[in-house]
Amino acid sequence: MTAPNKPITVPDFHAARGVRKLAVVTAYDFTSAVIADAAGVDAILVGDSLGMVVQGHGTSLPVSMAEMLYHLRCVRRGTKRALIVADLPFLSYQVSPRQAVKNAGKMLKAGAHAVKLEGGERMADAIAACVRADIPVMGHIGLTPQSVHRMGGFKVQRDAEELLADAKAVQAAGAFSLVVEGVPTELGAKVTSAVNIPTIGIGAGPHCDGQVLVWHDLLGLYDGLRPKFVKRYAELGALATDAVAKYCDEVRTGVFPAAEHGFK
209 lies in the binding site for ligand KIV (CB under 6 A): no
**Cβ at position 215, least distance to ligand KIV in Å:** 9
166 lies in the binding site for ligand KIV (CB under 6 A): no
146 lies in the binding site for ligand KIV (CB under 6 A): no
Residue with Cβ nearer ligand KIV (202 or 255) = 202
**Cβ at position 87, least distance to ligand KIV in Å:** 5
Q: How far apart are CA 240 and CA 233, in angstroms?
A: 15
Stretch touching ligand KIV by CB under 6 A, among 43-51, 76-84, 162-170, 191-199: 43-51
23 lies in the binding site for ligand KIV (CB under 6 A): no
**Cβ at position 3, least distance to ligand KIV in Å:** 18
Q: Which of residues 210-229 bind ligand KIV (CB under 6 A)?
A: 212, 214
Stretch touching ligand KIV by CB under 6 A, among 41-49, 76-84, 154-162, 235-243: 41-49
47 lies in the binding site for ligand KIV (CB under 6 A): yes
Q: Is 181 a catalytic site residue?
A: yes
108 lies in the binding site for ligand KIV (CB under 6 A): no
Catalytic residue among 121, 181, 235, 260: 181
Site for ligand KIV, rule CB under 6 A: 26, 45, 47-49, 87, 140, 179, 181, 202, 212, 214
